[in-house]
Chain A
Amino acid sequence: MIPELVIALSVGAALFGVGLYGALSQTNLVMIIMGVELVLAAALVNMVAFWRYLHPDVTAAKMFVLIVMAVMAVEMAVGFGIAIARFRSRGSVEMEEARELKG
């Protein structure tokens, strides 16, 4: 076990935990999106760590990171678009009030 890898993965795990906790416990949509971003970021850290310490010669990994970042950005844009649309219709983005899909 390469110790640097362990440290990097722990950082990634910590980020993941924080992000998950945030996504699940926050009531504001913006905070939930932030949490989801952090989860994605943690996945990216894990990927970079595995690339740097296990397979440094695979160049495709760098491309994958960039693509994920782009997807993150797009997803954030969509998410905030939804948040603005909701804010405009309801005047708030509190998720506790969003019960329309209750079965």
Chain B
Amino acid sequence: MIWLALTLLAPLGAALAVFGLRRAPGVIALAGAGLGLLGAFGLFARAAGGAEVTATLPFLPDLPILLVAGPLTATLALVVATVAAMVLLYATGYMAHDPEKLRFFGTMLMFVAAMELLVLSGDWITLLAAWELIGFASYLLIGFWYSREGVPGAAMRAFLYTRTADLGLYIAAFLLIGLAGTSEISATLATAGTPALIAGLLLLFAAMGKSAQVPMQDWLMRAMAGPTPVSALLHSATLVAAGAILLIRTAPMLPDGALLAVGLVGGVTAVVAGLMALAAGDLKRLLAASTASQYGLMLVALGAGAPVAALLHLIAHAAIKSALFLGAGVFQHDRDSTDLEALAGAGRARPGIFAGFALAALALAGLPPMAAFFSKDAILAAALDSPFAVWLLPLALLGSVLTGAYMARALRVLWTGAPGKAADPAPLMSAGMGVLVALAATLGFGFKPLEAMLSAHVPEPAWIIPAMGLAVGLIGLALGWFFQPARLLGPLLGPASEGFVIAGGMQALVARPALALAAACERFEQRLLAAVMAIGRINLSIGVGARRMDKDTIDAAIFGLVDRAIALGARARRLQSGFIHREMALTFAGIALVVGVLLVTPLYL
């Protein structure tokens, strides 16, 4: 339990300490990462011993937060903690002169805590929550230098791409929870049939976003606008691993249809991203494309039904790629750019760093006895043995060739050229990178015990597999070293350097229709408002009509009556002439009239 708390709370506590105390961020960060690493070691040791550490926290009624540190999750937790510790060590050197390093270290620590939460989650809500939180941390970290041009856009793009893909995870989680009646992940893995297929495809969609698989690879390229430690930690070893981790954990549930889809997506990405890496003009973009490609290979392994192979490659890749990024960061510090042209010969000025870089590069290409050799063999073996071998194996092999090619290219560029001025020593950066390089070289030997711990049996491959792996690796390296990418790619150079944007890419396919829909809604709003105003105006005109009826009809009638009565009175007034004669005449006329009436009435009544 204490290990669990340490793994999760040490980075989180360190983040709060950094933001609260606002001093010594590097030291606090290292302390937090170190304690977290200690905790992860503890969990790993317990899991290796066979014990599974779990914890339950209340959240929603019937839907608690579950944490579980079994063999798989404890291993991943250790991977995350190790890479995080080394990258943070490196970052204390890299970010030493940045005025905003408080925010940097605090956010990085928050990310580490969230990532650990993700790998250790035992229920869907926690996994989903952590999934989104690492996306949030990624947004903050990619957008770290937010006043630079293009950076806010890159951060927004990354978040939106992954958020769209996260819909898959949301819906899959709802589906699985609803069917299983509980949010516990291991319980929901018993789902089968069509729901499992649908859930599997949805999870694949989510993984495609997070792991930058085709067609959602663009955000990763742009994410390189962030500081290099961010690229090393998030965008090579941890955040992008989340997609693969998700599929590895749910592998028992995925039916054949889903597996085929996974494998194809992975294979296509391995090739497409590999081509993009070869055509890249910027070292970090090269490494980013390479990351997408490697995760494609992991998905191929998953599609072939060998999640353990994917896991092994994930671990190897984590160490290798982060080491490569850290090396790129050192070169970036020297030359103030990551453009391949600007970096020409940078390796010569720092032989030690370059050696580490080269070692990691060769490891990635699959040379023995380094880690990726074993993992790549496992992938190729699985691809060969799988029912979809006809698709998966060629894609995997091509991906491996391209791996060697672009790594060799990078090495060649770094080595050929003028060394430039002497470089300042960078002890912290070298230390961080060095450990990861060492791991990259030696992890292979730990794979067998690891497989035992996971109770997974990866059969020894026939000799053809290592031979194939070695061959494609060497061929790739040779191609990359001796030939220019333009020659290798031929007509594909243009699309590759553009990122294989089809039909305008996400911008045209998603963003512009969404904005058009938004504008249409706004126009509809205006019309609704106009309708409401029109109703108001109709009522006003009814009111005016009522007033007019009052004035013209009713009042007119009454006042007309009054006027006529007055006119009649005026006429009667004329009798009052004041003349005695007239008065008397009228008097006698009246008398005569009365007499006449009096005389006549007895005759008729």
Write out the residue numbers on chain A whose beta carbons fall within 8 Å of the beta carbon of B580. 32, 95, 98
B588 touches A98 (CB 8 A): no
Q: Which of A19-61 contact B (CB under 8 A)?
A: 20, 23-25, 27, 32
Measured in the bound complex, the distance between the Cα atoms of B578 and A17 in whole Å is 24
Measured in the bound complex, the distance between the Cα atoms of B584 and A27 in whole Å is 13
Write out the residue numbers on chain B whose beta carbons fall within 8 Å of the beta carbon of A96. 579
B79-87, B218-226, B569-577 - the one binding chain A: B569-577
CB nearest neighbor in B for A95: B580
Contact partner, B579, options A20, A23, A95, Cβ 8 Å: A95
Measured in the bound complex, the distance between the Cα atoms of B585 and A95 in whole Å is 14
CB nearest neighbor in A for B588: A20
Is A103 engaged at the interface, CB distance under 8 Å to the other chain? yes
Main secondary structure of the interface of B (DSSP, over half): helix
Is A101 engaged at the interface, CB distance under 8 Å to the other chain? yes
Whole-angstrom distance between the Cβ of B566 and the nearest chain A Cβ = 15
Is A88 engaged at the interface, CB distance under 8 Å to the other chain? no
Q: Which of B79-132 contact A (CB under 8 A)?
A: none
B576 touches A95 (CB 8 A): no
Contact partner, A98, options B573, B575, B578, B585, Cβ 8 Å: B578
Contact partner, A99, options B573, B578, B585, B588, Cβ 8 Å: B578
Chain B 547-586 interface 0/1 with A at a Cβ cutoff of 8 Å (1 = within): 0000000000000000000000000010111111100110
A103 touches B576 (CB 8 A): yes
Chain A 67-103 interface 0/1 with B at a Cβ cutoff of 8 Å (1 = within): 0000000000000000000000000000110111111
B581 touches A95 (CB 8 A): yes
Whole-angstrom distance between the Cβ of A98 and the nearest chain B Cβ = 6
B577 touches A102 (CB 8 A): yes
B584 touches A23 (CB 8 A): yes
CB nearest neighbor in B for A98: B580
Whole-angstrom distance between the Cβ of A22 and the nearest chain B Cβ = 11
B585 touches A101 (CB 8 A): no
A102 touches B578 (CB 8 A): yes
Chain B 471-502 interface 0/1 with A at a Cβ cutoff of 8 Å (1 = within): 00000000000000000000000000000000
Write out the residue numbers on chain B whose beta carbons fall within 8 Å of the beta carbon of A98. 578-580
Number of inter-chain CB pairs below 8 Å: 31
Whole-angstrom distance between the Cβ of A66 and the nearest chain B Cβ = 25
Write out the residue numbers on chain A whose beta carbons fall within 8 Å of the beta carbon of B576. 101-103
B585 touches A103 (CB 8 A): no
A103 touches B578 (CB 8 A): yes
Name, among B573, B577, B578, B580, the residue most crowded by chain A CB atoms within 10 Å (CB to CB). B580
Whole-angstrom distance between the Cβ of A21 and the nearest chain B Cβ = 11
CB nearest neighbor in A for B578: A102
A100 touches B581 (CB 8 A): no
Measured in the bound complex, the distance between the Cα atoms of B588 and A100 in whole Å is 22
B584 touches A103 (CB 8 A): no
Contact partner, A24, options B573, B578, B581, Cβ 8 Å: B581
Write out the residue numbers on chain B whose beta carbons fall within 8 Å of the beta carbon of A25. 581
Contact partner, B585, options A24, A100, A102, Cβ 8 Å: A24
B588 touches A101 (CB 8 A): no
Write out the residue numbers on chain B whose beta carbons fall within 8 Å of the beta carbon of A27. 581
CB nearest neighbor in B for A99: B578
Write out the residue numbers on chain A whose beta carbons fall within 8 Å of the beta carbon of B585. 24
Write out the residue numbers on chain B whose beta carbons fall within 8 Å of the beta carbon of A32. 580, 584
Q: Which of B575-601 contact A (CB under 8 A)?
A: 575-581, 584-585, 588
Measured in the bound complex, the distance between the Cα atoms of B584 and A103 in whole Å is 16
Measured in the bound complex, the distance between the Cα atoms of B579 and A96 in whole Å is 7
Write out the residue numbers on chain A whose beta carbons fall within 8 Å of the beta carbon of B584. 23-24, 32
Write out the residue numbers on chain B whose beta carbons fall within 8 Å of the beta carbon of A24. 581, 584-585, 588
Measured in the bound complex, the distance between the Cα atoms of B589 and A20 in whole Å is 11
Contact partner, B575, options A99, A100, A103, Cβ 8 Å: A103
Name, among B573, B576, B584, B588, the residue most crowded by chain A CB atoms within 10 Å (CB to CB). B584
Whole-angstrom distance between the Cβ of A11 and the nearest chain B Cβ = 20
Whole-angstrom distance between the Cβ of A99 and the nearest chain B Cβ = 4
CB nearest neighbor in B for A102: B578
Measured in the bound complex, the distance between the Cα atoms of B573 and A88 in whole Å is 31
Write out the residue numbers on chain A whose beta carbons fall within 8 Å of the beta carbon of B577. 99, 102-103
Measured in the bound complex, the distance between the Cα atoms of B579 and A27 in whole Å is 10
B581 touches A99 (CB 8 A): no
Measured in the bound complex, the distance between the Cα atoms of B268 and A72 in whole Å is 144
Measured in the bound complex, the distance between the Cα atoms of B577 and A96 in whole Å is 11
Whole-angstrom distance between the Cβ of B408 and the nearest chain A Cβ = 129
CB nearest neighbor in A for B577: A102
A103 touches B579 (CB 8 A): no
CB nearest neighbor in A for B585: A24
CB nearest neighbor in B for A26: B581
Measured in the bound complex, the distance between the Cα atoms of B580 and A68 in whole Å is 24
Question: Lowest 10 A-B CB distances belong to which pairs?
Answer: A103-B576, A102-B578, A99-B578, A101-B578, A95-B580, A103-B573, A24-B585, A102-B577, A24-B581, A102-B576
Query: Which positions in A face B, CB cutoff 8 Å?
Result: 20, 23-25, 27, 32, 95-96, 98-103
A-B contact pairs, 25 of them (CB 8 A): A20-B588, A23-B584, A24-B581, A24-B585, A24-B588, A25-B581, A32-B584, A95-B579, A95-B580, A95-B581, A96-B579, A98-B578, A98-B579, A98-B580, A99-B578, A99-B579, A100-B578, A101-B576, A101-B578, A102-B576, A102-B577, A103-B575, A103-B576, A103-B577, A103-B578
Query: Which positions in B face A, CB cutoff 8 Å?
Result: 573, 575-581, 584-585, 588
